[in-house]
Amino acid sequence: MSLTESRFVIAIDGPAASGKSSTARAVAVALGFRQADSGALYRAATAARLRVGGDSADWSEESVLDAARSVTVHPADGVFEAWVDGSAADAELRGEEVTANVSLVARMQSVREWVNEKMRECAQIGAIVVDGRDMGTAVFPDAALKIWLVADPEVRAHRRSIELLGRIPSDDELARETGELTARDARDARQTQPADDAVHVDTTRLSPAEQVARIVDLARDRIQRSGSAPSPDAGGR
Ligand code: C5P
């Protein structure tokens, strides 16, 4: 069995906007693994429930789980994408309304079980990089490599603002984004804890290329130690 066909799991967890998904994607590309973002599934369930309508304060757990039935996972170019009602909805998933309501949905135990099940299904197919908050603790406690990715809140807010606005944020915009990120960190605190055996990577002073290289090096070391032979091609991509 080649490495890419194996059940090799790299789990990247950390707080909001710590660069988990883009890092996970780049690490997966470098190693020829697939990638799945658990945050996208929580966002998709939230988007699906928002489409049904009504005040989120009144959402029952059953109604969210029911709406989540319209969420499907599609392997596209090595990335498992979360679709809503049969089509990709990336802008909607990243939008303000979903971001404002996703922590509420993520606190629902049956929704967490639904996401965890989908993530485990993705990992059945072959080697994978998964990212989120609790991948290395609750979902893949036996992952071969666990990364806890952190960065100072202001740096995270700066990166997120550039992503959202497409330009350098003003001081006010940066302050608002920092406040929103810190509030979301607080709302998600319960499920956002590093695994005891996670390697902590602080990206505050690292470029994206440096953080990816750091994790790829760690992964190659684990791969070598596990005795798996890396596939010469990009395997399941
Ligand atoms: O990573 P991202 O910001 O897209 O995650 C969106 C939300 O999904 C988080 O704010 C959190 O509420 C929830 N989440 C979670 N557990 C995960 C991944 C995401 O609770 N493993």
Amino acid of residue 58: D
Q: Evaluate: CB of 132 within 6 angstroms of ligand 1.
A: yes
| Nearest residue (CA) to ligand 1, atom 16 | 133
State yes or no: pLDDT of 234 exceeds 80.
no
Ligand 1 atom with minimal separation from the 40 CA = 4
pLDDT at position 7, please? Answer: 84
Name the average pLDDT for the chain.
93
79: Cβ contacts below 8 Å, ≥ 6 apart: 25, 28, 34, 35, 36, 37
The pair of three-digit structure tokens given for residue 112, joined into one six-digit string: 């967490």
Q: Evaluate: CB of 16 within 6 angstroms of ligand 1.
A: yes
Q: What is the mean pLDDT of residues 163-170?
A: 93
- Domains assigned to the chain: 1-33+133-138+146-224 (3.40.50.300), 35-125 (3.40.50.300)
Amino acid of residue 33: F
- What does the alpha-carbon distance between residue 179 and residue 192 come to, in Å, rounded to a whole number? 18
- What does the alpha-carbon distance between residue 211 and residue 213 come to, in Å, rounded to a whole number? 5
Find tokens 């290329």 and name the residue. Answer: 209
State yes or no: pLDDT of 25 exceeds 50.
yes
Find tokens 């966002």 and name the residue. Answer: 43
- What does the alpha-carbon distance between residue 164 and residue 141 come to, in Å, rounded to a whole number? 33
Where residue 150 falls among pLDDT bands split at 50, 70, 90? very high
Rounded to whole angstroms, the maximal C-alpha distance in the chain is 53
Q: What is the mean pLDDT of residues 130-159?
A: 96
Q: What is the mean pLDDT of residues 7-22?
A: 94
The per-residue pLDDT for range 56-89, each reduced to its tens digit, is 999 999 999 999 999 999 998 899 999 999 999 9
Please give the distance, rounded to the nearest whole angstrom, from the Cα atom of residue 38 to the centre of ligand 1.
7
Q: Evaluate: CB of 103 within 6 angstroms of ligand 1.
A: yes
Amino acid of residue 218: L
| Nearest residue (CA) to ligand 1, atom 11 | 103
State yes or no: pLDDT of 236 exceeds 70.
no
Length of the chain: 237
Where residue 1 falls among pLDDT bands split at 50, 70, 90? low
State yes or no: pLDDT of 233 exceeds 60.
no
| Nearest residue (CA) to ligand 1, atom 14 | 39
pLDDT at position 6, please? Answer: 75
pLDDT at position 189, please? Answer: 92
151: Cβ contacts below 8 Å, ≥ 6 apart: 18, 19, 159, 202, 203, 204
The per-residue pLDDT for range 171-210, each reduced to its tens digit, is 999 999 999 999 999 999 988 999 999 999 999 999 999 9
pLDDT at position 76, please? Answer: 87
Q: Evaluate: CB of 38 within 6 angstroms of ligand 1.
A: yes
The pair of three-digit structure tokens given for residue 132, joined into one six-digit string: 């989120």
Where residue 226 falls among pLDDT bands split at 50, 70, 90? confident
| Nearest residue (CA) to ligand 1, atom 12 | 103
- Opening angle at CA 216, ends 213 and 220, nearest 5: 140
User: For the chain, what is the radius of gyration of the CA atoms?
Assistant: 17
* Neighbour count for residue 182 (Cβ, 10 Å): 16
**Is 233 within 8 Å of 6 (Cβ atoms)?**
no
